[in-house]
Amino acid sequence: MRSEFDFINYIKERHKLKVVGDDCSVVPKDSLSDHLFTVDLLIENIDFRLDWTTPAMLGHKALAVSLSDIAAMGGTPKYALLSIGVPDSLWKTPFLDEFYEGWHSLAREFGVELIGGDISKASELVIDSFVIGEVPKGKALLRSGAKSGDILFVTGELGGSSLGLLLLENGTRPDPEVEEILQNAVLRQLKPQPQVAIGILLLENKLATSAIDLSDGISSDLAHVCKASGVGAAIDASKLPITKGATLEMALDGGEDFEILFTVSPERRSNAFALGAVEIGEITSESNITLLIDGEPRPLTPKGFDHFKRA
Amino acid sequence: MRSEFDFINYIKERHKLKVVGDDCSVVPKDSLSDHLFTVDLLIENIDFRLDWTTPAMLGHKALAVSLSDIAAMGGTPKYALLSIGVPDSLWKTPFLDEFYEGWHSLAREFGVELIGGDISKASELVIDSFVIGEVPKGKALLRSGAKSGDILFVTGELGGSSLGLLLLENGTRPDPEVEEILQNAVLRQLKPQPQVAIGILLLENKLATSAIDLSDGISSDLAHVCKASGVGAAIDASKLPITKGATLEMALDGGEDFEILFTVSPERRSNAFALGAVEIGEITSESNITLLIDGEPRPLTPKGFDHFKRA
């Protein structure tokens, strides 16, 4: 069956779409700024489970995933619109109030204003999050700017969200009484922190030559960068900042870590370290992506999340 | 049970939201223009039924409902993002291709560019349509500008969409062989035409003192205008341009006609006629809304569509 990426590419070509391709769409705003637009659709029992999270954490995550897209392009989030399809059973409970509390709590942290939305009845809970950001004109961080020799960095831990998902599947729940390692992973899955501040610094300091948010897993997201930039990459497994308890596979293919993967020219390497980012490899002039394990290069193939390939 | 309007008002007050309230949110763009943002969530078996429509008509309608919001504020639609949750059963068919064909056919008509979106698996079809428009700075047509003595106009037929829904419920399907009166109503339900051109003229000619799109039904939508403007209204049943075959109740409460309801100062009345609009009543200084039937005033109470009040 065709994947969702195949389908999106088909629609782009069929209808000659130009803007679709980065984490956000970039559209001219005024003489100084561009607008960024991003949207994320979350569906009950596909993207979240109500018995694994709290309404407030779900509200937080619904906004966080979109803020992460703005962050990866170096933007400042400004406004949001929120569409919700709600089952009757939830409509009668405090669910929505708590959901909006969680959403607004994160929105206040980043100065995001809710300016609209829509609400409908549905048989399962559906959340669609639109966020509008701003970026200095022509300066948005794109996937397409990586050059051979550039150094690859990530802004934080990998694999934690995927480990958290496994723990949730096996019965662990958000609970301060539970061992800290488990809770860290569970919270990375349920309540991810978007890297908005670092994204803005990457842009303001003209540091990143390319950037993407790690929503699908580094094996997929790095492939997007390499394809858009016309380059290859080599990453070193021993350098990956893997969340305690997570596996290499989780770090590579797990997705939903919502850290930023970015590239920096070699002479700016120390500036990236100063932001607390972790070096994980480099961009090459090859056409493939390799993973060094114990010094042995192996091909790294995209195995990130695809809604229509997984069971 | 609280209605969706109650809930939206609660969230507005609880979180001190300022912009929510008109058909679109208005946000400053540059020194000459404001941006308009609107979003519409359509859920299978709540807002549409797949056995009553075609994929292309559904694509058309998904965009049309949002264009109608832009139209009611006098805006020019520019960009769109589209989120779709798709059941596996549809993913394997040409459904999405035909849906996007219908969507793009209408988009081309109004010069709207698709710049992004999201796609997910879902157990029922979910469509969330986000449209971005532009309007001259500070000039967006609002619900709040109606004044006592202003004349009330609508841009076209009322009740047709509601009649179409009834016909569909009773087994009529879109079919060129079927009697024209039935097809007109069915198409008003399945393939509504947004009044973008008239909206722009209302704004450019500084004609409308207030405007709203008729999505919920005139009994509800006129109440929104009166509440926002702090006025009352009197409409005359004999003047309503009711679709052939539709009832007065359908025209008042049916919803989804997607015509524009607008007000004009008395001295500009003839300019509204010149646009082909139909006079249906006037704005009063009372606090209530009355419907004249055979010269007898009766109170008109909102009975438009509410997702959480109807069965």
3-state helix/strand/coil string of B116-143: EEEEEECCCCEEEEEEEEEEECCCCCCH
With an 8 Å Cβ cutoff, are B79 and A25 in contact?
yes
Can you tell me whether residue A287 is helix, strand or coil? coil
The answer on B148 and B130 residing in a single domain is no
Instruction: For Cα atoms B256, B262, B266, give the angle at the middle one, nearest 5 degrees.
Output: 155
Residues A83 and A45 reside in one and the same domain = yes
Q: Is the domain of A129 the same as that of A269?
A: no
The number of helices, as runs of H, and strands, as runs of E, in chain B is 10, 12
Are A148 and A225 found together in one domain?
yes
CA B36 to CA B75: how far, in whole Å? 7
Interface probe, candidates B2, B3, B6, B11, chain A, greatest A C-beta count within 10 A: B11
| A132 and A149 fall within a common domain | no
Distance CA B21, CA B26 (A): 10
Mutate to test the interface with A, among B36, B39, B91 (most CBs of A within 10 A): B39
Chain B residues touching residue A43 (CB < 8 angstroms) = 85, 120-122, 126
Give alpha helix (H) positions in chain A: 4-14, 55-72, 88-91, 95-110, 160-169, 180-190, 196-204, 218-229, 248-253, 269-274
CATH number, domain at A48? 3.30.1330.10
Give me the interface pTM, i.e. the ipTM: 0.91
Question: Do A128 and A204 have their domain in common?
Answer: no
Interface check A140 vs B, CB under 8 A: no
Contact state of A132 with B41 under an 8 Å Cβ cutoff? no
Q: Is residue B305 part of a domain?
A: no
Q: Are residues B55 and B170 in the same domain?
A: no
> A190: how many CB neighbours lie within 10 A of its CB?
21
**What's the pTM?**
0.93
> Would residue A78 count as lying in a domain?
yes
Residue A101: both structure tokens together: 């509390």
Which is it for strands B232-236 and B289-293: parallel, antiparallel or unpaired? Answer: parallel
Given B38, B43, B81, which is nearest A116 (Cβ)? B38
Last residue of a domain, one of B136, B165, B185: B136
Question: Is B306 inside a domain boundary?
Answer: no
Measured between beta carbons, the chain B residues lying within 8 angstroms of A20 are 114-117
Domain range for B191: 143-299
- Judge whether B263 and B225 are in contact, CB under 8 Å: yes
> Is B115's CB within 8 Å of A88's CB?
no
Q: Are residues B122 and B45 in the same domain?
A: yes
- State both tokens at A115: 């300016």
| Per-residue exposure over B210-242, b if at least 16 CB sit within 10 Å of its own CB, e if not | bbbbbbbbbbbbbbbbbebbebbbbbbbeebbb
* B74 and B118 co-located in one domain: yes
Render each residue's pLDDT in chain B as its tens digit; 311 residues. 667 767 777 777 777 776 566 889 999 999 999 999 999 999 999 999 999 999 999 999 999 999 999 999 999 999 999 999 999 999 889 999 999 999 999 999 999 999 999 999 999 999 999 999 999 999 999 999 999 999 999 999 999 999 999 999 999 888 878 788 888 999 999 999 999 999 999 999 999 999 999 999 999 999 999 999 999 999 999 999 999 999 999 999 999 999 999 999 999 999 999 999 999 999 999 989 999 999 899 999 988 766 665 43
Q: How far is CA B223 from CA A25, B4, B82, B219, in A?
A: 37, 15, 30, 6
Lookup: tokens for B1:
């049970």
Q: How many distinct structural domains can be found in chain A?
A: 2
Q: Is residue A305 part of a domain?
A: no
For residues A29 and A125, membership in a common domain is answered with: yes
Which of B101, B136, B171 terminates a domain? The answer is B136
Hey, which residues 112-131 in chain B have their CB within 8 Å of chain A?
113-124, 126, 128, 130
B55 and B84, same domain (yes or no):
yes
Residues 6+ apart with CB under 8 A from A271: A205, A207, A264
What is the three-class DSSP state of B247?
A: coil
Report the residue from B39, B118, B126 with minimal CB separation from A85.
B126
Considering the domain boundaries, does residue B92 fall inside one?
A: yes
Domain boundary among B72, B106, B136: B136
Task: Give yes or no for a contact between A289 and A300, defined as CB atoms under 8 angstroms apart.
Answer: yes
If asked whether residues B148 and B293 sit together in one domain, one would say: yes
